[in-house]
């Protein structure tokens, strides 16, 4: 399955709500997902909610 990243995720389904997201304490609104820089407000088809 290919990753389909979108820069603006739906409410409650953005990278910030995803268990793969690691918040970047140095950069507001940014984080890491599998080692790549992503926007906290983005989303993709691999979204999984935080437990
Ligand atoms: S898996 Fe997708 S939704 Fe989750 S943090 Fe990574 S890019 Fe965002």
CATH number at residue 25: 4.10.490.10
Q: How far apart are CA 31 and CA 10, in angstroms?
A: 17
Residue 45 Cα: closest atom of ligand 1: 2
Whether 51 has a pLDDT exceeding 90, the answer reads no
User: What global pTM score does this model have?
Assistant: 0.92
Residues 6 or more apart whose CB falls under 8 angstroms from that of 7 comprise 39, 41, 42
The count of domains in the chain is 1
CA 39 to ligand 1 centroid distance, Å: 9
- Write out the residue range of the structural domain in which residue 6 sits: 1-51
CA 19 to ligand 1 centroid distance, Å: 8
Whether 7 has a pLDDT exceeding 90, the answer reads yes
Q: State the sign of the Cα–Cα–Cα–Cα dihedral 36, 38, 40, 42.
A: negative
């Amino acid at each position: 399955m290919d990753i389909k990243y979108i820069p603006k995720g739906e409410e409650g389904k953005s990278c910030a709500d995803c268990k793969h997201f690691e918040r970047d304490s140095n950069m507001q609104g940014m984080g890491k997902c599998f080692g790549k820089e992503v926007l906290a407000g983005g989303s993709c088809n691999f979204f999984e909610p935080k437990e």
